[in-house]
Homo-oligomer: A and B are copies of this chain.
Amino acid sequence: MSDADARDARRPVRPGGGKRVTMRDVADAAGVSQPLVSIVMRDVPGASPESRAHVLEVASRLGYRRDERARMLKQGRSRLIGIVFHAAQPFHGELIDELQLAAREAGYNVSLAAVTRRRGEADAIEALLGERVEGLVLLGASLAEEELERIADEVPVVTVASQYSSARFDSVSMDDARGTELAVQHLRERGHTRILYLGAPGVSGDEVRTATFLEATTAAGLGDEVAVVAGGASEAAGAKVIEDALKHHPDATAVIAFNDRSAQGVVAQARLLGKRIPEDLAVVGFDNSEQAELPYLQLTSLAQDPAQLASTAVEMVVGRVDPTAEGEAPRTGEHRILPTKLVVRSSSGDPAPSSR
């Protein structure tokens, strides 16, 4: 059996692991050296037009595809940014879209790890570290700060839409305090004084919103008329809690919900109880998600721009990975807060109230 026979015999096998076409195979078939194939495949200068064309032709005929792992291994770096997201959170989908884009622009690829019911954040992060990601973007992280600091010792970390203030990793989030102020102010302008804040204890962002809600309403002299009720970040939580809350605070005329999902639960359940939205109950949510626009919701909501969140996150993590040029990567944790704005829809009253 000749060498050629052996080679031919190897290709069509494609067993378990699958012997795939390699640069060697292309080089042999094209009658050139293997590194030359590399040059052609990377599309860098150093090959004549003829060789280039020939190699490309052979490669495509053989169905060659570059092995990214080998490439990363040789290069000594992965140019990979790990993204940890929650599979059940539609807003994370929007963020992923933007993150992929921003990463690609910065010359990086992304690797995804999902947090699900049965797979925690720590697990997801471990998997990503095993792939040698060079940076980590964590969406809605809720691990202990010390945990994240331990991880940040290995690789730059930036959390998105979480509340951390560590000196060892970065974060980017919306301005929860300002957003809450805007919501309170908006409702007051429309004459509401008996306002409920329906929080989500333990979920990132809730602490700040709760504190600000109390401050803002107290400052406005509404201390006795408002209340904070503990709910959650889902439609079900919103629905469940509003029902109770309306029993204990039957004269409430407005609700600020932790996010659009819980706001949706509030609206639907309140309607079922005979309340008209917004005449009997005004509702404001957070996120300005796609569902805020639904015709039957038309939810007033505090907007955070996913594109800005994403590009900021990528910029921060890449800044630490690549201490480029004058490269002043901050040596201490940076915590950026992005502006938010109130998007007014009909769930909080007439779109254009002339008099309050």
Contacts and interface: CB of A to CB of B under 8 A. Distances in A.
Given A93-B87, A118-B101, A265 B16 contact: no
Interface in A81-112: 86-88, 90, 92-94, 96-97, 100-101, 109, 111-112
B73 A70 contact: yes
Given A116-B97, A322-B16, A131 B68 contact: yes
A312 interface: no
Contacts of A294: 235-236, 239, 265, 268
Contacts of A111: 111
Contact of A269 (B100, B293, B296): B296
Contacts of A67: 73, 130, 132
Interface in A101-159: 101, 109, 111-114, 116-119, 127, 129-132, 134, 153-155
Interface string A212-242: 0000000000000000000000011001100
- The number of chain A residues touching the other chain, given as a range, is 35 or more
Interface string A246-284: 000000000000000000010011011000000000000
Interface of A: 15-20, 63, 65-70, 72-73, 75-78, 86-88, 90, 92-94, 96-97, 100-101, 109, 111-114, 116-119, 127, 129-132, 134, 153-155, 235-236, 239-240, 265, 268-269, 271-272, 290-291, 293-297, 321-323
Nearest to A134: B18
B69 A131 contact: yes
A265 B94 CA distance: 21
B77 A73 contact: no
A73 B76 contact: no
24 contacts: A15-B323, A16-B323, A17-B77, A18-B77, A63-B154, A68-B131, A69-B73, A69-B131, A69-B132, A86-B93, A87-B90, A87-B96, A87-B97, A88-B90, A90-B90, A100-B119, A101-B118, A109-B127, A111-B111, A112-B114, A236-B295, A240-B295, A268-B294, A268-B296
Given A17-B77, A97-B116, 20 more contacts: A16-B77, A16-B323, A17-B134, A18-B134, A67-B73, A67-B130, A68-B132, A69-B69, A69-B73, A69-B131, A73-B73, A86-B93, A94-B116, A97-B119, A111-B111, A112-B114, A236-B290, A239-B294, A239-B296, A271-B296
